[in-house]
Amino acid sequence: MILAQPTPEQVPDIIAITHLAAAYADAICRDDIDEAVLVYAEDGILRSPTTADSVGRRAIADTIRTATAGMDFVFQTVHQGLVRVEGDQAWARFPITEWGRRDDKGVQFLGMYEDHAIRTAQGWRFASRYLAPRTLGRPASFTGRIIDLGVLSDSPLSP
C-alpha cells in the first residue's frame, strides 16, 4: 500500500517525526544514550523480539546500555522512512543499518523501526518503537582504528 500524499498541513509534522528518528540515530552514533532516549515520551516503550519490553526512558536507556555493552562503537544509519499523521498521533516505519565492533570483530545489523509517535507539549515523541530485526552478521571490514568524533563538538548541530 502506498501512503496518501501528505497534505500541506501534515508536512511539518512529517519532517519533525523524521527529524526525531535522525536525532535518535545521531545520539546513538555519539554514544550518548541519555540524549537518545529523549526522543521517547516519558512513558514510551521500546519493544523487540530479543528483549523484554522497556517502559520509560530509564528502562529504555538500561536496555540500550545492555545491548551495546562492550561495543567499541555503534554507528546507526536511519534510511528514508514513511510517516502517516492523524492529528496528534502518527505512525512511521524507518529502515536502519547499524555497524559496530565488539572484541575486534565487526557487527552489522539490518532492521526496521515500527513507530507510534504522539504530539506532546515538548513536540513529537515516540510513544513506542518496535525494533524488527532482519539480519545480524559479522562483516570483516571493521578492523581499522576508530577515529575520535570529538571534532564534532564544535559543530552548530551539537547540543
pLDDT category at 3 given cuts 50, 70, 90 is confident
CA torsion 151→108→19→30, rounded to 10°? Answer: -30
Q: Cα–Cα distance between 80 and 53 in angstroms, integer?
A: 26
Using the 8-state DSSP alphabet, how is residue 18 labeled? H
Model confidence over 53-63: pLDDT tens digits? Answer: 999 999 999 99
Q: Cα–Cα distance between 131 and 79 in angstroms, integer?
A: 14
C-alpha distances out from residue 146 to 70, 100, 101, Å: 15, 11, 10
Amino acid at 90: A
101 by Cβ neighbours in 10 Å (0-12 / 13-18 / 19+) ranks as buried
Contact at 8 Å (CB) between 73 and 30?
no
Neighbours of 115 (CB within 10 A): 23
Model confidence over 100-121: pLDDT tens digits? Answer: 988 888 889 899 999 999 999 9
For residue 156, the model assigns a pLDDT of: 62
For residue 141, the model assigns a pLDDT of: 65
Q: Cα–Cα distance between 24 and 39 in angstroms, integer?
A: 6
Contact at 8 Å (CB) between 94 and 21?
yes
The fold of the 11-143 domain, in CATH, is: Nuclear Transport Factor 2; Chain: A, (3.10.450)
Domain boundaries, the chain: 11-143
Q: Cα–Cα distance between 127 and 110 in angstroms, integer?
A: 22
Q: State the average pLDDT over residues 13-20.
A: 98
Q: Cα–Cα distance between 75 and 18 in angstroms, integer?
A: 18
Model confidence over 67-97: pLDDT tens digits? Answer: 999 999 999 999 999 999 999 999 999 999 9
pLDDT category at 2 given cuts 50, 70, 90 is confident
Q: Enter the pTM of the model.
A: 0.86
Compute CA 77 distance to the chain's CA centroid, rounded to the nearest angstrom.
8
Model confidence over 20-44: pLDDT tens digits? Answer: 999 999 999 999 999 999 999 999 9
pLDDT category at 135 given cuts 50, 70, 90 is confident
